[in-house]
Amino acid sequence: MDIEVRIRGLMMDPATNMPIVVLKDVGSDAVMPIWVGIFEANAIAIEIAKENAPRPLTHDLMRNLIHNLNAEVEKVVITDLKDDTFFACLWLRQQGEVVIVDLRPSDAIAVALRADCPIYVAEKVLEAAKLNPSLNPEGATSDQLKGWLEGLNDEDLGRYKM
């Protein structure tokens, strides 16, 4: 079962200075952090802020290619977690056919924002991410990390913002 999530925040990890995308389950208080690269975080931040780049960025190109190939993005799904690495798929519909494309979660999120489509996380991934302390580069326990992420308010997200 896939669980719909929304971006709760995009911030810098205060301990490692690595960007984190914080995803929140729309039906509960569960949160899931994904540490991403600086360029991917920047692409997400640009779309969240609805800023326009002077030329299309890579994720804009992906959206434009999909549109010009008469396809649409139905959803993105973070499908798996193996060896502390997340996996995702982009679900496209073209001429009535579903096409599933493998990509990094950070790219999936950036495309989903541009395509205005839902983001899902497989239930098993959300559960594994909540229980896996190795996903936290600063070494805090999963309970400490969960408490920290769930306790973030808008002021905190602003303080750690990209």
Which domains are present in the chain?
A: 2-159 (3.10.690.10)
For β-strands 97-103 and 85-94, DSSP reports them as: antiparallel
Assigned token pair, 7: 């971006």
Interior CA angle at 63 toward 19 and 47, to 5°?
A: 40
Does the pLDDT of residue 144 top 50, yes or no? yes
Residue 149 in this model has a pLDDT that exceeds 70: no
Q: Decide which of 156 and 81 is more confident.
A: 81
pLDDT at 91: 98
**C-beta of residue 100 within 8 angstroms of C-beta of residue 77:** no
- pLDDT tier at 160 (50, 70, 90 boundaries)? very low
Q: Residue 141's pLDDT is what? A: 47
Residue type for position 117: C
At 128 the pLDDT is 87
Arithmetic mean of pLDDT, 24-53: 92
CA atoms within 13 A on the CB side of 90: 25
Judging by DSSP bridges, how do beta strands 85-94 and 71-82 pair with one another?
antiparallel
Q: What is the mean pLDDT of the chain?
A: 85
The DSSP code for 134 is G
Q: What is the tens place of the pLDDT at every residue in 71-92?
A: 999 999 999 999 989 999 999 9
